[in-house]
Structure 1
Amino acid sequence: MSPTPHTLLCDPALAFLAPALTPAWVGSRLGEVLGRSLSLRAIRPLRHKLGRRCLIAYDIELAGEVVTVVGKVRSRGLDHHSYELQRKLWHHGFEDASADGVSVPEPLGVMPELHLWLQRWVPGRVATELLPQDVGLAERIAGAIAKLHRANIPARKCHTPADEIRILQERLPRVAQIHPQWQERIEHVLQASAALAKTLPQAATTGIHRDFYPDQVLVSGDRLYLLDLDLYCQGDPALDIGNFVAHLSEQSLRRFGHPDAFTQQETALVEAFCKLDSQVSRGAIATYKTLTLVRHIYISTQHPHRRATTAPLLSLCEARLAQGP
């Protein structure tokens, strides 16, 4: 169910958002930020994560044309870093007219008092919907993420294999609290994951997405847009590919009861990417895939429609960890 202005205002962490939902005020403020005379047609809350963030669409009329801009809001303050990153990418070959067909949505400005930054809305469909029928799309996505890595915009943070294991050590014990009968199995998975991470080769790092999966790629005609770069950091490019193919395996497990429905897409993505970046190890990609699937054991417990996959994910991870690197 989509959020409403009322549900946003009922979130104490987002109480500061009242002006962003007030047509007269926000219409005037949007005009200031965009530097244009405009008419506000509608305010449409799109997404809401309780206590943390939300997404708001503003339909505006500019010079007789109705366009949509999207406001990204974070409760703990304006995410200036993500805005600046997207602005730099836009001016570094990721604009709408880029010859290679890979872009980011155009960043438009900030409203610091509302912890909000604006980007232009892009029509299209997320790759999650299209990849099952289009293996060739996987190869195009490999080119898109390789372009992001090559851009190598300086990152504020660094992400290491030790950080991957720290996240698992924080989250997987919560699964054992929900399912105490799995306590020993969870402990073994954590130990094996830490041992596996230590086998990762020393890699040259670059700017990576760090949360790269099919929902983060929007297909708009012949153009691909990379979305939601909030976790962008310095890291191993193999992580982005391993994370992406792990999501495909998890999607297969959830939809079909086994992890292999999208093997062709996974293989196409990995092969295309390794041709573009020969320094990336296929073994490292496989390791990051396993570590991502381990993280999905926890994620599955946080969504009612995914809880049926918790046990199969645990078994899948045990099998992959038993194989070693």
Structure 2
Amino acid sequence: MPHLCRHTASLLARDRAIAGLPLLFDTDALVAHLNSAGGSPPITAADLTYLRYKPGTNCLAKYRLHTASGPVDVYAKAYSDEDAAEKLAKDRQRPAVAGPLGCGRWFFAARNLVISAFPNDAKLRYLARLGDPTRVRQHLTRILGAAEVRPDVALQPLAYKPERRYVVRASWTDDTGATLEHVIKYVTAQEFARVQPLLQCLEVQPIPGIPQLAGMSGRYRALAFAWQPGTGLREITAAANIDYRYLEATGRALALFHRQAAAIKTLPCRDFAARLQALNEQMAFLLPSLETRMDTLVRELIAWWKDQNETCGVVHGDFYDKQVVVTGEHVSILDIDSVESGHPTRDLGLFIAHLERDAISGNVAAAEVTRLGDALLRGYLRAGGEIAIDQLRAYTAFGLAQLAHHPFRSNETHWAEKTERLLIRATALFDSARVTAIPLGGKAS
């Protein structure tokens, strides 16, 4: 069994309601179970890459399995003893297609656990169409509408969160020899119902510089956008020699987005108070030693957030370096399905919060956080954006609180220590925001 840190071991000891929980963290045992179930080719190892956990209720875990024929993506879901009979019965009724290991779904009743091999997904059921070469062309044509998908269509997976979303790049050659490329995003029924009116609104009032909707299917709960060529900002910030001009260009693009999107008046605003409180309750179980720190921070952030004018503008809603593509001097902002009413500084704060989180996880040098953030803000200000440093610090703390569970979710080494550092940094930023009220480039207010 892989070595478990004391915090993970404590978690497993405290949550006895989910019988299969220990197996999810024991990748050696999981591989043995799958191999004994007759999967072919044999699995040699498994990497746990993603977790979504509801204490006492269920836990979903995504794995990259290693085989002689190449990697295979699967996810496991372990249910509580109370819910297992009903949930597993529903899972057994779901149709399954053969996966790369032969079987599409495995059941381990003694552990109240089911494992699904891609493209089988309990909530993204139309992914199975992508695993059938005889149906994929017709399936994508229906999503894209007028665009005819050719027989040579190639699919490149981009992102997958089981039972939440799957993003794939589809490309093919038309009659003239030109390559056509689209991004197809599959979401849950609940998410599609939320996003559909937003995207229809953006069709009527398009925002320059962001990908326009190329197709939509309510039946398949799928969204299609034109592929945006270029270099991802994440790749640029990870380079040995960072060109900060791209960060400035990103700041300018965000200021332009905020200015042009402000004309849209019919957007909702998510209830962040409820979301933060739910996260607070989860974190209290994950790390009881941090319960007081997290609870204090969340209560103060919620009280502060309720005093902000969250209807004064429009925000991207999920803005960080993975949402930006650079082509020459042009910057494209991706993934617009979280656009909503909000204070524009929230986007800047979340971007910087991701930089802080990446530094704590060791993906960005700590010294680069300030330089990258300053370059972003320079571009934003030069393009006419307005920033008050107290609000920026508070929104950065707000973003860090939202990201507090990410080290656990990503199954990172020393996840508990990284979580504590995130909370310490968020608290320090929020405390400094309450004693500082100076606009960047302006006079004290």
In 1, Cα distance between the equivalents of 2:277 and 2:141? 47
The secondary structure found in structure 2 opposite 1:225 is: strand
Q: Aligned-pair distance for 1:242?
A: 1.1
Larger radius of gyration: 2
Residue from 175, 179, 184 that aligns with 2:283: 175
Query: C-alpha displacement at 1:217, in angstroms?
Result: 0.5
Q: How far is 1:84 from its partner?
A: 3.1
Name structure 2 gaps, 5 residues minimum: 1-63, 65-71, 75-96, 100-116, 435-445
Structure 2 counterpart of 1:310, one-letter code:
T
Q: Establish whether residue 322 from structure 1 lines up as the match of residue 428 from structure 2.
A: no
Aligned to 1:134: 243
The correspondence of residues 1-325 of structure 1 with structure 2, limited to 5 A, is 1=64, 3=73, 6=99, 7-31=117-141, 33-36=145-148, 38-63=150-175, 64-76=177-189, 78=192, 79-81=195-197, 83-84=199-200, 87-88=203-204, 92=207, 94=208, 103-131=209-237, 133-152=242-261, 154=264, 156-159=266-269, 163-197=271-305, 200=308, 202=309, 205-255=312-362, 259-277=366-384, 279-305=386-412, 307=415, 308-325=417-434
TM-score by length of 1: 0.83
> Residues of 1 paired with 2:133 and 2:139: CA distance?
10
Q: Distance in 2 between matches of 1:233 and 1:126?
A: 24
Bigger relative contact order, structure 1 or 2, given CA contacts below 8 A and separation 6+?
A: 1
CA 1:149–1:324 in structure 2 vs 1: closer, same or farther (change >3 Å)? Answer: closer
Relative to 1, partners in 2 of residues 1:82 and 1:324: Cα closer, same or farther, differing over 3 Å? closer
Contact 2:252–2:380 at 8 Å: present in 1 too?
yes
- 1:305 alignment partner, SS class: coil
Structure 1's 21 and 273: CA in aligned 2 closer, same or farther, altered over 3 A?
Answer: same
Q: How many residues align?
A: 312
Distance 1:74 1:155, change over 3 A: farther
Question: Are the structure 2 counterparts of residues 127 and 109 from structure 1 closer, same or farther at C-alpha, using a change threshold of 3 Å?
Answer: same
- CA 1:318–1:258: 2 relative to 1, 3 Å: farther
Question: Are the equivalent residues in 2 in contact too, given 1:3–1:47 (CA < 8 A)?
Answer: no
Contact kept, 8 Å, 1:217 with 1:225, in 2: the verdict is yes
Displacement of 1:35: 4.2
Asked if the contact 1:83–1:117 (Cα under 8 Å) also holds between the matched residues in 2, the reply is: no
Measured in 2, the distance between the counterparts of 1:29 and 1:257 equals 40
Contact 1:196/1:321 (<8 A) preserved: no
Shift in CA distance, 234/282, structure 1 to aligned 2, threshold 3 Å: same
Instruction: Flag the 1:207–1:35 CA change in 2: closer, same or farther, 3 A.
Output: same
Using the TM superposition, give the Cα deviation of residue 261 of structure 1 relative to its aligned residue in structure 2, in angstroms.
2.6
Q: Distance in 2 between matches of 1:289 and 1:122?
A: 28
Given that 2:394 and 2:429 are in contact with CA atoms closer than 8 Å, whether structure 1 keeps it comes out as no
AA aligned opposite 1:231: S
* SS of residue matched to 2:223: strand
Q: Is the 8 A contact 1:104 1:226 kept in 2?
A: yes
Read off the aligned partner of 1:147 and give its amino acid letter: L
In 1, distance between residues paired with 2:189 and 2:395?
Answer: 30
Q: CA deviation at 1:257?
A: 8.9
Instruction: Encode CA deviations 1:215-268: one digit per residue, 9 max, x unaligned.
Output: 110123332111111110011111111111121122122217985432022122
Structure 2 SS opposite 1:236: coil
The more displaced of 31-40 and 144-153 is 31-40
Q: Which amino acid counterpart does residue 60 of structure 1 have in structure 2?
A: W
Tell whether the 8 Å contact from 2:400 to 2:422 is kept in structure 1 after alignment. Answer: yes
Percent sequence identity over matched residues? 21
Residue identity matched to 2:132:
T
C-alpha distance in 2 between matches for 1:244 and 1:137: 14
Rounded Cα–Cα distance in structure 1 between residues aligned with 2:220 and 2:307: 45
- Structure 1 runs not aligned, ≥5 long: 95-102
Q: Which secondary structure does the structure 2 equivalent of 1:34 belong to?
A: coil
- What is the CA RMSD across the aligned residues, in angstroms? 2.9
State the alpha-carbon separation in 2 of the partners of residues 178 and 198 from structure 1. Answer: 27
Q: Are the structure 2 counterparts of residues 50 and 204 from structure 1 closer, same or farther at C-alpha, using a change threshold of 3 Å?
A: closer
Aligned residue type for 2:420 = A
